[in-house]
Structure formats: C-alpha cells, structure tokens
Structure 1
Amino acid sequence: MSDEQKVKITVKDNGSLRVEGDFTIVDVEGNEIPHEGPAAGLCRCGHSANKPFCDGSHKERFESAVRAPKA
C-alpha cells in the first residue's frame, strides 16, 4: 500500500475518531455516506445529531482516553 492510499485514524481524547486519507464511509446497508475533503470526524459518543459525523455534542458528556497497549 502506497502512502497515497494509507488511511490514518486518530482516536481523540474525549471526542471523535479523526479519519484522514482516501476512504469511503458506508452505512449498514452498504450505501455510501458522502463526506467533504480528505478527512472526517466520526462520532464515538452517540450524542451527535449528524451521525456518523461528530458535531461536538460529546463536550462535557463523554469521557474516554484511549491509549495503545504497552509492548
């Protein structure tokens, strides 16, 4: 996979998943969900009114600090 094809997903503390790169988002039925640009913030808290995208609703209502396991 070349660098141009790589997708990076960043888990933000107490917030969204930031997806960057060349990616497609599909719903449970396989329908593509359009997004603008090479990046998107995806809701992880369940409070967004614009799912699957983050709309900032998590602020003050969601806590989750994810860290990679230590080797």
Structure 2
Amino acid sequence: MTAPEEHPDVILCADGPMLVRGDHVIQDAEGQLHRTTRPISAVCRCGKSASQPWCDGTHKVIPKR
C-alpha cells in the first residue's frame, strides 16, 4: 500500500471564500507566493478583498447577482 499524497483539504463556501486546511502556499494573481502557518486559511474568491489573496469578508457586502 502506498502512502496517501499530502495535500491540503479545500472547501468552497457558497458565495464566500475557499477554505484551505493544512500547510500550503497560495499564488496570487501577480504570481507572488504566500505561505501561511494558520491551521485554516480563507482565500478570496470574489476578487474584492483588500488583503488579497486572503478573504477579508468583503463578499458579504457585495450585492448578489
């Protein structure tokens, strides 16, 4: 039996961020790499966060389409 691949768990929140659990590196739109040590990180999917690539909750005030 082979060992399972190590990869972060990913959860897509409806109308919200992508939650990533585990050790990981996120690449932003400019190609910069961002490592985090948090157990769970929220990655922006709306593109409006002031703290890109991380979610700052801005999606909550954007009108739904």
More strand by share: 2
SS in 2 for 1:52: coil
* Runs ≥4 residues deviating over 6 A: none
CA contact (8 A) 2:16 2:59 kept: yes
Q: How does 1:29-40 map to 2 (within 5 A)?
A: 29=31, 31-40=32-41
SS in 2 for 1:40: strand
Does residue 42 in structure 1 map to residue 43 in structure 2? yes
The percent identity for this pair of structures is 31
CA contact (8 A) 1:48 1:56 kept: yes
Q: TM-score, normalised by structure 1?
A: 0.67
Q: Identify unmatched segments of 5+ residues in structure 1.
A: 65-71
Q: Identify unmatched segments of 5+ residues in structure 2.
A: none
CA contact (8 A) 2:24 2:35 kept: no
SS in 1 for 2:21: strand
More RCO (CA 8 Å, sep 6+): 1
CA contact (8 A) 1:48 1:54 kept: yes
Cα root mean square deviation, aligned:
2.4
Q: TM-score, normalised by structure 2?
A: 0.72
Work out the number of aligned pairs and report it.
62
